[in-house]
Amino acid sequence: MVDLKIKIQDLEFKNPVTTASGTFAYGEEFSDFLDLNRLGGFFIKGLTLENREGNPYPRMAETASGMLNSVGLQNKGIDHFISHIYPRIKDYDTHIIANINGSTIEDYITVTEKLNDLEKIPAIELNISCPNVKEGGMAFGIRKKSAVEVTEAVRKACKKILIVKLTPNITDIAEMARVVEGAGADSISLVNTFLGMAIDAETRKPLLSTVTGGLSGPCIKPIALRMVWDVFKAVKVPVIGMGGIMNAADAIEFILAGSTAIQIGTANFIDPQVSLKIIDGIEDYLIRHKVKAVTDLTGAMEI
Amino acid sequence: MTRNFFFKNMKRIEDFTVIQHHWLNENTFLIELKSSGQLPVILPGNFAQIQINNTPGVFLRRPFSIYNADYKNNTLTFYIKIVGKGSRELGLLKPGDITSIIYPLGNTFSLPDKDKVLIVGGGFGIAPFLLLGKSFREHQKKTTFLIGGRSKQDIMLASTFKKYGDVLITTEDGSLGEKGLVTDHSVFNNNNFGYDMIYTCGPDPMMKAVANIARNKNIPCEASLENMMACGFGACLCCVVETTSGNKCVCTEGPVFNINDLAW
Ligand SMILES: Cc1cc2nc3c(=O)[nH]c(=O)nc-3n(C[C@H](O)[C@H](O)[C@H](O)COP(=O)(O)OP(=O)(O)OC[C@H]3O[C@@H](n4cnc5c(N)ncnc54)[C@H](O)[C@@H]3O)c2cc1C
Ligand SMILES: Cc1cc2nc3c(=O)[nH]c(=O)nc-3n(C[C@H](O)[C@H](O)[C@H](O)COP(=O)(O)O)c2cc1C
Ligand code: FES
């Protein structure tokens, strides 16, 4: 028997496989396809204080080995989540992690405080990396000063495990991880999407209503992997890695580069059962390589 | 109007085997694929997300309306127009090839209260209407199909649709049926128009024009939308359409919408 359990600080996960915010809705959308209880956890769609309609259609464009999106945090707001969605999903036997967003630090704090009362949400992921909103989001995550301010403020308000999600759209991600760790993050997750764009040459029009959007999928994997490695070397807190993971081999690469847990994003759209296949694939890998515990692989790349 | 939900089907992901193609012209074909198990009930308007294998540049699945479902042989048939890499690849598959399909997705059309219905389809927009025509025949509705295209070569399957109702045709060059766009057809000029409900699917400008006619005549109308999709089952929020009550997902809350709910 191999041991798939991992810990983010005191919080134990049954395995390192979780699904990424914005690619797994509220979990329910996947319940026809898989047993959610098998997942290490799932990160729900980004929450904001107020209802948000997101950006106008079109907000998706396919690219070579990936996709651009500019959904822009569409959600019905934290109160709607608490009264309507949370009661429906709270009894799944897996960790449900809330991804939180705001235009101001006050927004982030209010959302955090409201989540404190929800017993079945053991952690929050502070999203300072959304490239698709005009205010807040990535604006907080590209400068050290504002990243520290929002992390410290949410740290004070938050009674749960605090994961801070970094944007890759910066020059020195290791330095950003270090200052966010210093500001109180229990864990660092990365990467969010890369800012990109696409144009229809025939019509000369952008393919996204917002012109630019966030790139995800296998096309970002080598850069994401390098950033996870950089961050792993820079911080002591556990790292949650993601960016283009399509199968178990990809997941193992992220673990070897320093991830304690991984998130699966865009791959869920193509194969809604991929997360379970990745759990099985990691287990097979451990058996094949005679490794007892998945935690033995974290950062175990041999140079 | 009553929604004819029989029951909510579980969505599934399944490997299908290609049985055959039937080419209608050089860039339009029917493709029949067989399930390894028992087909669930497919409602008119339901669509599927088909995996495109081994095609550089195609990353996501492609959404296609379910044109026909054969419960005896457990096959699904799609009516596909080649517009790019993914649709072309589906045309190149060989009998015995296997591809993964997520289905049945999306909602369905309403059953009209009254008896006479007009179904307006342009291009591959007629794809969801064979199952709808079949369902209306079971419910003893009197169905007229109005099919539009650029010219004669674009009008396909009229003889198949004839089994389930009358067929009217328009072509822009006048090579078949009445000359003009579907919305130019004389059926709309008639003072005693006589239809109790209109259903439409096709390019957005066509559907909007049909919706305008329906509004002017004060007749209920449903449109089946074809927004770009990444997942097809409510996970990504990429496929939204603006409605009177905010952005809604075409893949889960549609593809069929009452035109009065759309911000058209
Ligand atoms: C719910 C739904 C049902 C559909 N039913 C059918 C059907 O029954 N038969 C059929 O032939 N097609 C149908 N479509 C459209 C079909 O999905 C697209 O034609 C297909 O995705 C194009 O893929 P491609 O790789 O061949 O083209 P690509 O190489 O991806 O694109 C080529 C061109 O096709 C057009 N295109 C791409 N995606 C779409 C889209 N989603 N809708 C309209 N145009 C698009 C764009 O103009 C693009 O420039 C449906 C779409 C939806 C959302
Ligand atoms: C359609 C879509 C919506 C997303 N929404 C969010 C979001 O609400 N909050 C967030 O932190 N990240 C969001 N992301 C980013 C993903 O969680 C993930 O960081 C990114 O897609 C990289 O992983 P991947 O390549 O495996 O998809 C979204 C990504 C996509 C494709
Ligand atoms: S296509 Fe993903 S939500 Fe509709």
The pLDDT of A79-108, averaged and rounded, is: 97
B85-110: b or e for each residue (b if 16 or more CB lie within 10 Å)?
ebbebbbebeeeeebbbbbbbbbbbb
Chain A, nearest residue to B9 by Cα: A32
Residue A42 forms contact with B (CB below 8 Å) = no
Q: What is the pLDDT of residues A175-187, one digit of tens each?
A: 999 999 999 999 9
**Residue B55: exposure state from Cβ atoms within 10 A (0-12, 13-18, ≥19):** middle
- Please say if A219 is a catalytic residue: no
Can you list the positions of beta strands (E) in B109-179?
Answer: 110-111, 116-122, 142-149, 166-171, 178-179
Q: What angle do CA B246, A102, A153 make, to 5 degrees?
A: 160
- Most confident of the ranges A139-148, B93-102, B149-158: B93-102
Please list every residue in chain B whose beta carbon sits closer than 8 Å to the beta carbon of residue A67.
59-60, 230
| Residue B3, pLDDT score | 46
Whether B105 lines ligand 3, by a CB cut-off of 6 Å, is: no
**Would you say residue A98 has pLDDT above 90?**
yes
Pairwise CA distance, residues A169 & A180, whole Å: 16
8 Å CB contact between A34 and A275: yes
| Residue B5, pLDDT score | 46
Residue of A47, A85, A130, A147 marked catalytic: A130
Pairwise CA distance, residues B211 & B218, whole Å: 10
Q: How far is the CA of B63 from the centre of ligand 1 (A)?
A: 7
The pLDDT of B101-115, averaged and rounded, is: 95
Give the pLDDT band of residue A132 (cuts 50, 70, 90).
Answer: confident
Instruction: Please give the torsion angle defined by the CA atoms of residues B131, B133, B136 and B138, in that order, rounded to the nearest 10 degrees.
Output: -70
| Residue B124, pLDDT score | 87
Residue B245 forms contact with A (CB below 8 Å) = no
Domain ranges, ordered by start, for chain B: 4-105, 116-225
Evaluate whether ipTM surpasses 0.85: yes
Q: What is the pLDDT of residues A53-63, one digit of tens each?
A: 999 999 999 99
| Residue B7, pLDDT score | 52
Q: What is the pLDDT of residues A245-288, one digit of tens each?
A: 999 999 999 999 999 999 999 999 999 999 999 999 999 999 99
Q: Which atom of ligand 2 is nearest to the CA of B238?
A: 1
Q: What angle do CA A32, A35, A36 make, to 5 degrees?
A: 100
A6-55+73-195+218-297: what fold?
TIM Barrel (3.20.20)
Residue type, A142: I
Whether B228 lines ligand 1, by a CB cut-off of 6 Å, is: yes
Q: Give the whole-number percent of chain A exceeding pLDDT 70.
A: 100
**Residue B17: exposure state from Cβ atoms within 10 A (0-12, 13-18, ≥19):** middle
| Residue B8, pLDDT score | 61
| Residue A134, pLDDT score | 74
Q: What is the pLDDT of residues B39-64, one digit of tens each?
A: 999 999 999 999 999 999 999 999 99
Whether A266 lines ligand 2, by a CB cut-off of 6 Å, is: yes
Chain A, nearest residue to B61 by Cα: A270
First to last CA, chain B: 21
Residue B57 forms contact with A (CB below 8 Å) = yes
| Residue B1, pLDDT score | 43
Give the number of whichever ligand sits closest to the CA of residue B60: 1
Query: Coil, helix or strand for B259?
Result: helix
Taking domain B116-225, whether its CATH number is 3.60.21.10 is answered by no
**Would you say residue A136 has pLDDT above 90?**
no
Whether B238 lines ligand 3, by a CB cut-off of 6 Å, is: yes
Poorest-confidence range of A130-134, A291-295, B63-67, B164-168? Answer: A130-134
| Residue A139, pLDDT score | 84
**Would you say residue A88 has pLDDT above 70?**
yes
Q: Give the whole-number percent of chain A exceeding pLDDT 90.
A: 95
**What's the longest Cα–Cα distance across chain A?**
58
B4-105: what fold?
Elongation Factor Tu (Ef-tu); domain 3 (2.40.30)
Residue B13 forms contact with A (CB below 8 Å) = yes
Residue B241 forms contact with A (CB below 8 Å) = yes
**Would you say residue B6 has pLDDT above 60?**
no
Tell me the shortest Cα–Cα distance from B171 to chain A, in angstroms. 26
Better-predicted residue by pLDDT, B100 or B193: B100
**Would you say residue A43 has pLDDT above 70?**
yes
Please list every residue in chain A whose beta carbon sits closer than 8 Å to the beta carbon of residue B230.
60, 62, 67, 69, 266, 269
Chain A, nearest residue to B240 by Cα: A57
Q: Is B235 within 8 Å of A271 when comparing Cβ atoms? A: no
DSSP A85: I
Whether B37 lines ligand 3, by a CB cut-off of 6 Å, is: no
**Would you say residue B28 has pLDDT above 90?**
yes
First to last CA, chain A: 28
Q: What is the pLDDT of residues B246-261, one digit of tens each?
A: 999 999 999 999 999 9
Whether B47 lines ligand 1, by a CB cut-off of 6 Å, is: yes
Q: What angle do CA A268, A270, A271 make, to 5 degrees?
A: 65
Residue A14 tokens, joined = 């049954």
State the average pLDDT for chain A: 96
DSSP B189: T
| Residue B2, pLDDT score | 43
